[in-house]
């Protein structure tokens, strides 16, 4: 019989809700959205599609009412019995709203902020799991909400030392059911990496778009020549600027570090072009082409998956530690479950991963003292 580990680690109110199945009279699971904009609204739609009853609130009451009218949420306000709350607000008000959600609801709380180190450091509650969906749209507000933006998107979780394993596992399961590729890592590592793959690319796209716009003042046909490559590269510059003010402030150090590295690379490319260094340019463009071609694919056929079973003690932090190891060696976890053992205070963490990644992950686990076994999927 499959059970979850660590029930004794949760507050009594949380346990009481969990024992009852977090259900309403109609047996629907209950979710709370704080911030009914693009991301919050998209999460709400994904939960509702899975049969959840979703309550939403927003600093602008009319926005929440609009979300209800559009069928994005079921009700407005705060559902104290919500088993899972998503806080999707600007960085400037994120910590305040997370603290409020922890006080006003009984279940787990996560956020969708783009920067994790500060919030993970300042909020140490076993019911809180910092998170960041690597998804978005050029559209703004609740009208742009679309559950499909999470299909195949990476959702990063950055649990702290105090995060409960049960809550983390539950959240991973919910996000996976939304179609997300869930990756777990430390907050500091997250911020350093998103500066490279998200924050600086946006600033780069904005800079290139501004360059073209300025040049167009003197040469009107310029923007008419903008073909697919230019449009693809600058697409993200169409995003709303307000959120980027907070992101650049919160992740300033990591962004500046990457900008410095990028400036050095641009300077190098300039020299290569100026000196007509064909070999140097070929090497650079070939590396870029190879790296772009080899970007990870998220699709794996079911027959290419294998189950890894890892005995773990019933101790806080075990699930977070193992899923972080998976992220460290670039192993995608397709599914996760905990099987309770009848032999003492331990259990078995069950992960489903691609066959091609199994041996690499087994070696990493063995190096950390774990004793994993493999099993074919039933």
Spatial neighbors of 81 by CB under 8 A, at least 6 apart, are 17, 22, 24, 30, 105, 106, 107
Query: What is the pLDDT averaged over residues 26-38?
Result: 91
- 283 with 309, same domain: the answer is no
Q: Which of 151, 168, 185 represents a domain boundary (last residue)? A: 185
pLDDT for 66 beyond 50: yes
Domain boundary among 154, 185, 216: 185
Q: How confident is the model at residue 22 (pLDDT cuts 50, 70, 90)?
A: very low
Are both 51 and 149 inside the same structural domain? yes
Mean pLDDT calculated for residue range 344-361: 84
Same domain, 164 and 220: no
pLDDT digit string, tens, across residues 359-375 = 999 999 999 999 999 98
Instruction: Confirm if 374 and 306 have CB atoms less than 8 A apart.
Output: yes
Handedness of CA 136, 138, 142, 146 (dihedral sign): negative
E runs forming strands in the chain? 30-34, 53-57, 75-76, 84-87, 108-111, 128-129, 131-133, 154-157, 181-184, 305-313, 335-340, 346-354, 373-375
pTM, rounded to two decimals: 0.75
164 has a pLDDT exceeding 70: yes
On whether both 129 and 161 belong to a single domain, the answer is: yes
- What is the CATH classification number for the domain harbouring 267? 1.10.3660.10
Within a domain: 210: yes
**For residue range 181-196, what is the model confidence (pLDDT) as tens digits?**
899 999 999 999 999 9
In this model, does residue 219 exceed pLDDT 50?
yes
Pick the last residue of a domain from 293, 310, 341: 293
Position 16 pLDDT exceeds 50 = no
Residue 1 lies in a domain: no
Does some domain include residue 250?
yes
pLDDT tens digits along 92-148: 899 999 999 999 999 999 999 999 999 999 999 999 999 999 987 767 789 989 998
> Average pLDDT of 236-253?
89
Instruction: State the average pLDDT over residues 10-24.
Output: 38
User: The CATH number of the domain where 50 resides is what?
Assistant: 3.40.50.720
Query: Is residue 181 located within the same domain as residue 209?
Result: no
Q: Can you give the pLDDT at residue 3?
A: 32
**In this structure, are 26 and 157 located in the same domain?**
yes
Reported as a single tens digit per residue, the pLDDT across 285-301 is 999 988 887 776 655 56
Report how many domains make up the chain: 3
Task: Verify that 82 and 54 share a domain, yes or no.
Answer: yes
* pLDDT for the residue 27: 78
Please say if the pLDDT value at position 257 is more than 70.
yes
Q: Please tell me which residue, 23 or 169, carries the higher pLDDT value.
A: 169
211 part of a folded domain: yes
Note whether 174 and 203 are same-domain residues.
Answer: no
CATH classification at residue 355: 3.30.70.260
Lowest-confidence region among 9-13, 263-267, 279-283: 9-13
pLDDT of 17 > 50? The answer is no
Higher pLDDT, 206 or 20: 206
Q: Note whether residue 2 is domain-resident.
A: no
Contacts 24+ apart (CB under 8 A), 8-17: 9/126, 9/164, 9/165, 9/166, 9/316, 10/126, 10/127, 10/164, 10/166, 10/167, 11/106, 11/126, 11/127, 13/106, 14/106, 14/107, 14/108, 14/127, 16/106, 17/81, 17/83, 17/106, 17/107
The mean predicted confidence, pLDDT, of the chain is: 86
With 70 as the cut, is the pLDDT of residue 349 above it? yes
Domain extent for 30? 7-185
pLDDT of residue 302: 67
36 and 134 part of one domain: yes
Q: Give mean pLDDT, residues 327-354.
A: 78
Residue 340: predicted pLDDT: 61
In a domain, 18, yes or no: yes
Specify whether 39 is located in the same domain as 59. yes
Residue 306 φ/ψ, nearest 5 degrees: -140, 150
- The answer to the question of residue 283 being in a domain is yes
Do 254 and 111 lie in a common domain? Answer: no
Alpha-carbon span 129 to 111, nearest angstrom: 7
pLDDT of residue 235: 85
Domain shared by 177 and 197, yes or no: no
Mean pLDDT for 335-360 is: 78
For the chain, the distance separating the N- and C-terminal CA atoms, rounded to the nearest angstrom, is: 16
């Amino acid at each position: 019989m499959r059970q979850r580990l660590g029930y004794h680690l949760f507050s009594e109110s949380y346990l009481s809700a969990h024992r009852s199945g977090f259900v309403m009279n109609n047996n629907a699971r209950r979710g709370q959205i704080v911030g009914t904009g693009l991301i919050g609204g998209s999460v709400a739609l994904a939960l509702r599609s899975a049969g959840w009853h979703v309550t939403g609130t927003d600093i602008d009451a009319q926005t929440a009412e609009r979300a209800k009218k559009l069928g994005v949420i079921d009700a407005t306000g705060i559902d104290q019995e919500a088993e899972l709350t998503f806080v999707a607000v600007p960085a400037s008000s994120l910590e305040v709203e997370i603290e409020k959600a922890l006080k006003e609801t009984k279940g787990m709380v996560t956020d969708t902020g783009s920067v994790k180190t500060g919030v993970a450091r300042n909020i140490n509650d076993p019911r809180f799991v910092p998170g960041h969906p690597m998804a978005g749209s050029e559209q703004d507000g609740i009208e742009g909400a679309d559950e499909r933006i999470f299909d195949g998107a990476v959702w990063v979780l950055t649990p702290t030392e105090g995060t409960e394993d049960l809550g983390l596992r539950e959240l991973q399961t919910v996000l996976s059911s939304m179609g997300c590729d869930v990756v777990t890592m430390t907050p500091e590592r997250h911020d350093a990496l998103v500066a490279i793959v998200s924050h600086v690319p946006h600033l780069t796209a904005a800079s290139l778009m501004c360059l073209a716009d300025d040049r167009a003042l003197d040469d009107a046909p310029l923007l008419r020549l903008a073909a697919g490559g230019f449009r693809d590269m600058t697409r993200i510059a169409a995003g709303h600027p307000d959120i980027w003010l907070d992101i650049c402030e919160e992740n300033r150090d990591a962004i500046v570090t990457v900008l410095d590295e990028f400036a050095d690379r641009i300077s190098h490319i300039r020299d290569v072009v100026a000196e007509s260094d064909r070999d140097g340019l070929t090497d650079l463009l070939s590396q870029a082409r190879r790296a772009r071609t080899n970007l990870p694919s998220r699709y794996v056929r079911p027959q290419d998956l294998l189950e890894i079973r890892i005995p773990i003690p019933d101790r806080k932090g075990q699930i977070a530690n193992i899923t972080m190891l998976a992220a460290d060696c670039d192993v995608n976890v397709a599914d996760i479950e905990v099987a309770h053992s009848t032999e003492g205070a331990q259990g078995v963490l069950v992960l489903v991963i691609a066959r091609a990644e199994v041996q690499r992950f087994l070696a990493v686990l063995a190096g950390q003292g774990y004793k994993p076994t493999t099993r074919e999927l039933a």
